[in-house]
Chain A
Amino acid sequence: MYGDSANKLVADAKRFSNLPSVPIYQADLVKDIVKEINDLNRDAEYLSTIEDNIREAQEEGNSTQQEEDYKINQCQTFVTHLSMRRNKRCLLAYEKLRSDKLIEFAWLNIDPAEPITQSAPSSSSSGTDTATNTGAPSLPNSKALLPQSKTIPNYTTQLDMNNLNHFEQDFYKNYQNLITNYKSKFGEYLDLTGDLQPPTDIFIDVRCLKDGGDVTTEYGSFNLIKDSQFYVRKSDVERLIQQGYLEEI
């Protein structure tokens, strides 16, 4: 029936609505639906030409048969339009959910390339790692993402650019530009993409979760060595915590 593939699309949207990542774009399903809409549209056009014919016939002589035909035609047109509208609604719901996730991610201000570089080496470069360190490094590598999703639950924290179709990629880039523009209006005094938790302590203890080399913040530089601990001002390291380098203790 019409609308079945749209249903599948919505079911998929429901499945990933709570995931912390954006799954791959269902290009095939969407193509099916668009094709279905095109078919329906052709039907609708055909029906409208028939309607014109009936109208003309009606003007010449008013018989009950034509009256009947007219009603049937109206009904068919109506149902066709309803099917199209349902398909449209499902498509829009799907796209809206995805764009919401993209927007959420864009505001979090994590580099989307990061999850890819993290997940990719676990398969490709693990060979070199295991050679030097007997398989241990591949574990922390895959774990490296976990604390990040732990510190900021309920967010979309992972984004694989390859999962987006390129309209979405464009959208994501343009939206990022919008955010940057908007942020620049506030100057350096207000960081709009910062942590949404209310501030509690001024100084906190942080533990380093993965190597990051020398990182210079506005207020000084740290050497991020894995498992080292610092006692620092929270505002200095907020960004690093967001990016998953540090963990608050």
Chain B
Amino acid sequence: MVLPTHLQGNLTPTEINFLAENELITILPRYSIKKINLIGATIPNLRAMRREKVPLWVALILKNQDKCNIVPPKWLNVNYLKEKYDDEIRKPTQFSDLPWNWLELSKILLTKASDDLPDSISDLRSIIQDLREIRLIKSRKGLKELNESNIALNGLSLLEINEIRPFVLPVMNKLRQLHDTTLKHDAGTNEENMADASDDE
């Protein structure tokens, strides 16, 4: 394949960020802007002080030029995140349901739109860091349960899945290979499977 090996099979953090920037977010424009049709989305007619939903990257450009305020998503405040944190502690075997992009979104908003957030930045940062750490510990613990057939990652976000993928996939592949070879019966079909498995890597 032409794509360089370090880009194959896994998303880079910048790519995840890029995906997260497609998320719709509510903004409070300060100027009126006519409707714009883009390839993947449309920016609706923007009128001053009327809330509209636009892709995050548009919001960031407007924010950079001081043409809008970003309305933070409803999960991005200390109280809500505190609740989630307590949730995480109460249920040691599962992950609380946070938005699919919570890490990237919060990072983007904290760095680029910090003046629009309701709570103090340092509080938000620390609670997000706490949440991230406790979830990291959980996913580390979960790795002990790795087997060759299935894995449950309910409630993990894209970035979190992405950072365990380069470890989990090869390990599961190896386990599956070993498991397949130890199956004594129907040895004939097994050899074919082995050939497939080694091709996959």
Contacts and interface: CB of A to CB of B under 8 A. Distances in A.
Interface of A: 103-104, 107, 153-155, 196-200, 202
Nearest to A18: B5
B14 interface: yes
Contacts of A200: 14, 17
B15 A198 contact: yes
B2 interface: yes
A236 B9 CA distance: 30
A53 to B, nearest CB: 35
Mostly, the A contact residues are loop
B7 A198 contact: no
21 contacts: A103-B2, A104-B2, A104-B4, A107-B2, A153-B6, A154-B4, A154-B5, A154-B6, A155-B4, A196-B3, A196-B4, A196-B7, A197-B14, A198-B14, A198-B15, A198-B17, A198-B18, A199-B18, A200-B14, A200-B17, A202-B61
A112 B184 CA distance: 54
Nearest to A106: B2
A177 to B, nearest CB: 15
Interface string B1-37: 0111111000000110110000000000000000000
Nearest to A179: B2
- 10 nearest CB pairs, A to B: A198-B18, A154-B6, A198-B14, A107-B2, A198-B15, A155-B4, A197-B14, A104-B4, A154-B4, A103-B2
Contacts of A107: 2
Nearest to B7: A196
Nearest to A201: B64
Nearest to B12: A197
Contacts of B15: 198
Interface centre among B2, B17, B18, B61 (most CB of A within 10 A): B2
A107 B1 CA distance: 11
B40 to A, nearest CB: 14
B198 to A, nearest CB: 13
Contacts of B14: 197-198, 200
